[in-house]
Amino acid sequence: MPSPAELQGRADLGDWRVVLGRLEARYRAGSFEGAASFVAQIAAAAETADHHPDIELRYPDVVQVALSTHSVGGLTERDAELAHTISTIASAADVTAQPHASQRVEVAIDAIDIGAVLPFWRAVLAYVDEPPPTDGGQVDAIVDPLRIGPAFWFQQMDGPRTERNRIHVDVSVPHDVAEERIATTIRAGGRLVSDREARAFWVLADAEGNEACVCTWQDRD
């Protein structure tokens, strides 16, 4: 499986960014009709490759594409190959890439007993369990089966937390967007709580202490 660094270093994947374990690209087609035509061309290429991305079409002309290999739960060379094909289609169709525009949001909930808390959120959201990273490990994340809504993950706490909020938002952005996103957030009244885990994530807070993390794929061992 290629690493995020290997994928981001490829010259033929300039349209694409690794965001939350997927290869993502955003395109502007100039018109809604042009965007729909572009989606149709992507669908045809996906059928030929027998490898299928998630595609979102938004008014007025935005197409968002996300690639991963579901059978392995990560990125493979098949994703890179189809990404290259989609970039070639975009270039021929005069569709414009916006490589810095992609982002994905996760909601993190601190819990003392994850096994007691997680089923409530799974039921109320109609989500499904995300397989744990190791066989037989504890499930600590749930996802929208249609991959539309944000993922929810549960962070183990050692004891009750009263001085800080227990729910925060993780905003995963392209690695070359993170510093500007953080600066913009601070200019908007936020403050940097911690950069101890940078570049994996930076913890930020609003004026009342509610937290959000800006996250990238970098420095995640």
Q: What ranges do the domains of the chain cover? A: 4-97, 104-215
Is the per-residue pLDDT at 221 higher than 80?
Answer: no
- As a whole number of angstroms, the distance between CA 210 and CA 204 comes to 8
- As a whole number of angstroms, the distance between CA 24 and CA 15 comes to 8
pLDDT of 134 reads 81
154-211 per-position pLDDT tens digit: 999 887 766 667 899 999 999 999 999 999 999 999 999 999 999 999 999 998 788 9
pLDDT of 162 reads 67
* Residues 132/140, Cβ–Cβ less than 8 Å: yes
What average pLDDT score do residues 15-32 get?
A: 97
What's the CATH architecture for 104-215? Roll (3.10)
- As a whole number of angstroms, the distance between CA 197 and CA 62 comes to 33
pLDDT of 72 reads 87
Q: Name the H helices within 13-167.
A: 32-49, 77-92, 114-125
pTM reported for the whole predicted model: 0.88
What average pLDDT score do residues 115-135 get?
A: 90
Average pLDDT, the chain: 94
pLDDT of 185 reads 96
39-63 per-position pLDDT tens digit: 999 999 999 999 999 999 999 999 9
Is the per-residue pLDDT at 144 higher than 80?
Answer: yes
Asked, colleague to colleague, whether 4-97 and 104-215 share their fold, the answer is no
What's the CATH architecture for 4-97? 2-Layer Sandwich (3.30)
- The maximal CA–CA distance of the chain, rounded, in angstroms, is 57
pLDDT of 163 reads 66
The residue whose two tokens read 């089966």 is 145
